[in-house]
């Protein structure tokens, strides 16, 4: 896989507010609704189960009384979609606006439909990512509740995981991801199926590269608390900065250094407590 050549975010009239006033209004409403819903889910999931090893397991990995596993999975997916919209929409919005103005020969309704379908394709990829995360989280949670020895080493493993998350910020995979989904990347509109097909393929393309780009940061979120609002906002801010800032490489690596440092501190403390 070769990353598209990354340039500074273009300053062109392609992201004028006037031409997409309705779309921006819908996006703003969607963002604020997702923000409110995310805060509600985080507050309702506040607390957790104290585990051997001195850490707390989030309630998101627990099945509520009277709840079946499919219902629990469905609730997780709903929360995940809401969270992803809140976290990813600010950084994805310039891409959607550029797509709107990258469709020569299309009337306004077709452009709007294409742009909306791109958003659907983009968040569909993130939904699939969440569907992969859930069973892994459930298996880990089940193992820690079954074997106390596993629970006691979780803080140490989490520290190592954070170090790996930070190191990822310096890798070629990170460059590939940013080269395909940042505001500096080319718009991919070569697809069949008319406006909706083009929108879907463009959104899925951006979503794929966004998952690659943000996988380290998502691991950071999962390790520090998937329903931790402060961590969520920090990760969302890093993602947005990486995709819209001119010197995004320096910003990304600075974030990586901070994550590695946090992981090292957590590891040292966890090892000391484990002894």
pLDDT (0 to 100) of residue 187: 63
Q: Which residues contact 14 (CB under 8 A, 6 or more apart)?
A: 97, 98, 101, 102
How far apart are the C-alpha atoms of 242 and 67, rounded to whole Å?
39
Q: Is 222 helix (H, G, I), strand (E, B) or coil?
A: helix
Q: What one-character DSSP code corresponds to residue 223?
A: H
pLDDT (0 to 100) of residue 193: 61
pLDDT (0 to 100) of residue 24: 84
pLDDT (0 to 100) of residue 225: 87
pLDDT (0 to 100) of residue 63: 79
- pLDDT beneath 70: ranges in the chain: 1-20, 104-105, 182-193, 274-275
pLDDT (0 to 100) of residue 8: 41
pLDDT (0 to 100) of residue 217: 95
Read off the pLDDT of residues 22-45 as tens digits, 9 standing for 90 and up.
778 888 999 999 999 999 999 888
Is there a contact between 217 and 164 (Cβ–Cβ < 8 Å)? no
pLDDT (0 to 100) of residue 11: 42
Task: Give, in degrees to the nearest 5, the angle at Cα 164 between 166 and 84.
Answer: 65
- In a 13 Å sphere around the CA of 37, the CA atoms on its Cβ side amount to 18
**Domain layout of the chain by residue ranges:** 15-274
- In a 13 Å sphere around the CA of 99, the CA atoms on its Cβ side amount to 33
Is there a contact between 45 and 227 (Cβ–Cβ < 8 Å)? yes
How far apart are the C-alpha atoms of 55 and 68, rounded to whole Å?
26
pLDDT (0 to 100) of residue 182: 67
**pTM of the model as a whole:** 0.86
pLDDT (0 to 100) of residue 191: 52
């Amino acid at each position: 896989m070769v990353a598209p050549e990354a340039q500074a975010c273009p300053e062109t009239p392609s992201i004028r507010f006037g031409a997409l006033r309705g779309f921006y209004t819908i996006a703003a409403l969607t963002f604020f609704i997702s923000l409110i819903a995310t805060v509600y889910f985080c507050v309702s999931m506040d607390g957790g189960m104290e585990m051997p090893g001195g850490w707390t397991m989030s309630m998101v990995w627990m099945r509520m009384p009277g709840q079946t596993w499919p219902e629990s999975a469905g609730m997780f997916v709903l929360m995940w979609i809401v969270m992803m919209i809140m976290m990813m929409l600010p950084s994805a919005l310039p891409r959607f606006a550029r797509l709107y103005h990258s469709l020569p020969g299309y009337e306004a309704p077709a452009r709007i439909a294409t742009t909306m379908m791109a958003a659907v394709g983009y968040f569909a990829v993130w939904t699939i990512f969440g569907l992969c995360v859930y069973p892994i989280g459930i298996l880990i949670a089940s193992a820690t509740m079954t074997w106390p020895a596993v629970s006691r080493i979780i803080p140490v493993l989490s520290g190592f995981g954070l170090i790996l998350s930070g190191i990822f910020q310096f890798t070629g995979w990170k460059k590939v991801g940013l080269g395909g989904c940042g505001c500096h990347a080319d718009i991919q509109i070569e697809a069949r199926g008319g406006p909706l097909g083009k929108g879907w393929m463009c959104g899925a393309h951006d979503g794929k590269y966004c998952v690659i780009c943000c996988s380290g940061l998502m691991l950071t979120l999962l390790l520090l608390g998937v329903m931790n609002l402060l961590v969520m906002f920090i990760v969302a801010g890093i993602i947005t900065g990486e995709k819209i800032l001119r010197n995004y490489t320096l910003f990304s690596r600075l974030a990586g250094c901070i994550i590695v440092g946090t992981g090292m501190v957590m590891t040292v403390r966890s090892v000391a407590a484990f002894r």
